Amino acid sequence: MSPVAAGRVRRRREQTSLTGA
């Protein structure tokens, strides 16, 4: 997982499944 994706996941926990995938 890229650092940019991690930042998005932290900002929006709703899309954790999308960005964390």
State pLDDT tens for residues 1-21. 577 777 776 766 666 566 554
List for the chain the helix, strand, coil content (%; round to 5).
75, 0, 25
CA distance between the termini of the chain:
8
Asked if residue 15 lies in contact with residue 9, where contact means CB atoms within 8 angstroms, the answer is yes
Taking the whole predicted model, whether its pTM rises above 0.75 is answered as no
Report the C-alpha gap between 19 and 9 in whole angstroms: 6
Asked if residue 18 lies in contact with residue 1, where contact means CB atoms within 8 angstroms, the answer is no
Task: Determine the pLDDT at residue 3.
Answer: 75
Report the C-alpha gap between 20 and 13 in whole angstroms: 10
